[in-house]
Each structure stands twice: as structure tokens, then as C-alpha cells.
Copies of this chain bind each other. A is one copy, B any other.
Amino acid sequence: MASPELRKDVVTGRWVVFSTARSKRPSDFKSKSPSGSGNSNSQNCPFCVGNEHLCAPQIFRVPPDPSSEWKIRVIENLYPALDRNLRQRDAQGEESPEVLAGFGFHDVVIEGPAHGVRLSDQSPREVGDVLIAFRTRIKELAAVEEIKYVQVFKNHGASAGASLSHPHCQMIALPIVPPNVSTRLDSMKDHFRQTRQCALCEAPSNKLVINESTHFVSFVPFAATYPFEIWITPRIHSSHFHEIDEDKAADLGSLLKLMLQKISVQLEDPPFNFMIQTTPLRATTSELPYAHWFLQIVPQLSVVGGFELGSGCYINPIFPEDAAELLREVNASVQ
């Protein structure tokens, strides 16, 4: 058994404890609560084709022509965390540096009309089309002056936070730069100052790489916070996800699909989240040389307890190089 080790990630700036004391063999990691087929309740599902009237207003659809069947819908969230009509100037009596009106946007991206077709079941080009829908919506949101950051995320499975099983992602546009983003940029700035290099332009060690595509590489980060956490980064420096073009989106679609298939096989269909980690919309020129976006995939395999809540330090029961080796070897392939 390997001795425990603490590692600090130069991107997140976060120390993580790697300790295999309590774990089984690396290959024994399995989800305790498989996310299920997602086929239940399609009759009353507001995201299914034919039930559009059950949803909050549509923002746009793909393709735009209403006489054809839609493939992707971007809609408002029926229970938004932030209010798109509540401008700061309307919020009286709350003038304090510690309070802001809850202005922002909370949208849903329905990935396809069929309830039982997951993102990993779609073709690389179709996955790319979902990514392009994110891009389109981020560009719209970027036009709103008060919006500082757009968090794109997917919750798959109830224990990963999904309340509806029809495949969808969410986007929350915030009037602040959220804490993980500030911390990440500070950490990447430190690395850039010391090395004159962007931390994510440096190729990850071969031991950590899972798969590569023309424009992207997928790997387990050196100090992964969570077991089997995966990052997919563009090989060529790019600060903002929404700079992606159609070809790169299809290429990323292919690698994302492969990673989702691999965690489903290796970890037995775990609940998971993925998040796009990008750069604030109004980044300064000085931030651009070290700000490099990535897509983060986190299978939900462990419970967060008091140690993590209190300290912000996580215990990861599998070393990143062991997780990467297992994922590299999983037999899955994109058609």
C-alpha cells in the first residue's frame, strides 16, 4: 500500500490528501448508487418532445426552423436560483459591499428530444452541437453588462443533484466572479509568474493522460480533488470556452463522449457532474496569458464529511496515476 501523500494542484491551488488506507483495490471502485437508465416517468417529463407547454419560456432551439423537430432546446429554468428581471438599480436599501440583488440568469439546455438518450449515446457531432448551444447562449449572456461569469454544469443522477432525469445541462449567469474561479486564476497567475508558462499549456505527464484527440487531451489532474476526476483541456491556449469553433466542438464532443462511456463502464454507471471551468467574461488582458479553460468531470463516489466541510481539504482514496491507468485501459470506443 502506498504511503499517504499531500499534493497541491497548481491550477486550483488546492491541497489534497491522497490516502489509500481505507480503500479497496483501485479496480474495485464502483458507484454505490448507479444513476439508473433515466427512462422513468417520460410521460410527465416536461423536457420530452410534446411537453414543451410544461416548461418555462424557450430562449432558442436547434434547428431554429419551427417546422422541423427540435434537436436541442435552451429554455429558462422554471425554478431559477437568480432572477433575470431584478436589476441592481431596482434593489433599494441594500447598498452594502456584502449584499447584491439576486440578478442573473438560470437556463436549461435540453440535450435532445428523447428521454432515454444520454449525451454519451449521441454522436460526437451531436455532442458538439450541445457544446455549440452553450457557446451561443454564453455569447448572448456576455452582452449583459452586469454578468461577470457563466457557470455551465451538468448534474446526472439524483445524488449528483439532478431533479429531472431527461438529459439536460444548466447554465447560471452570475453578477460576481465565483470563489473557485478567483482562486484558480490567482493560482495560475502565481505559476505563470514563476515559470512564464500557462499551467494548462504544459502537457500533463504521460502517467496522467487518459486519451487524446486532435485538439484536446483528457487526463486525471496531478492533485485531483475527487476520485476519478477528469479534466479535458484544449491543447492550444484558449482562455474562454466560448472561443470554440464547430470543428473543435465536434472533436471535444468525441472525447467527452468517450470519457462518459469510460466512467460508466469502469465505475458502473455512477452519478456524475461535469462543469466548464472558464474565464470571467470581462477578463483583463493581463489574465489572458495564464487563463486556460477546461472541462471537469466528477463522478460522485464519495460522501463529503466534516473534515472536508471544515478544512476545504479533500481526502482522495486513489492516486491520480492509478485512476488514469484504469481509465486508459477501459474498453470503450466512440463509433
Chain A residues within 8 Å of B, Cβ to Cβ:
3-10, 13-15, 17-19, 21-22, 79-83, 86, 91, 94, 97-102, 104, 149, 151-155, 158-162, 170, 172, 174-176, 178-181, 183, 222-223, 273-277, 296, 298, 303-307, 309-313, 315
- A170-B307, A273-B305, A306-B273 are contacts. A18–B312 as well, Cβ < 8 Å? no
Q: Which residues of B are found within 8 Å of A172, using beta-carbon distances?
A: 307, 311
Determine the chain B residues whose CB is within 8 A of the CB of A309 once the complex forms. Answer: 153, 273, 275, 296, 298
Name the distance in Å between A320's Cβ and chain B's nearest Cβ.
Answer: 12
Contacts of A277 in B (CB 8 A): 310
- Contact between A154 and B306, CB atoms less than 8 A apart: yes
Whether the pair B307, A97 counts as a contact (CB closer than 8 A) is no
Q: Inside 8 A of A81's CB, which chain B residues have their CB?
A: 4, 17, 19, 21-22, 307, 315
A117 CA to B178 CA, complexed, in Å: 42
Task: Identify A79's interface contact among B5, B21, B179, B305, CB under 8 A.
Answer: B21
Which residues of B sit under 8 angstroms from A22, Cβ to Cβ?
79, 81
CA gap between A296 and B307 in the complex, in Å: 12
By beta carbon, the residue of chain B nearest A83 is B4
Which of B5, B154, B160 has a CB less than 8 Å from the CB of A99?
B5
A304 to B155, CA, bound (A): 10
Are A311 and B181 CB-contacts (below 8 A) given A15-B176, A17-B82, A275-B306?
yes
A160 contact set on B, CB distance < 8 A: 303, 305-306
Interface of A is mostly: mixed
A147 to B139, CA, bound (A): 48
Please give me the residue from chain B that is nearest to A159 by CB atom.
B303
When A153-B306, A155-B305 are in contact, do A8 and B98 touch as well, CB less than 8 Å? yes
Q: Which residues of B contact A275 (CB under 8 A)?
A: 306, 309-311
6 closest pairs, A vs B, by CB? A161-B305, A4-B102, A153-B306, A275-B310, A180-B312, A178-B311
Question: Within the assembled complex, what's the spacing in Å between the Cα atoms of A13 and B160?
Answer: 26
**Chain B residues in 8 Å Cβ range of A82:** 4, 17, 19
Residue of B nearest to A175 (CB): B6
The smallest C-beta distance from A89 to any residue of chain B, in angstroms, reads 14
With a cutoff of 8 Å between Cβ atoms, the chain B residues found around residue A313 in the complex are: 151, 174, 176, 178-180
Which single member of B14, B99, B153, B155 contacts A7 (CB below 8 Å)? B99
In angstroms, Cα B301 to Cα A155, docked, is: 17
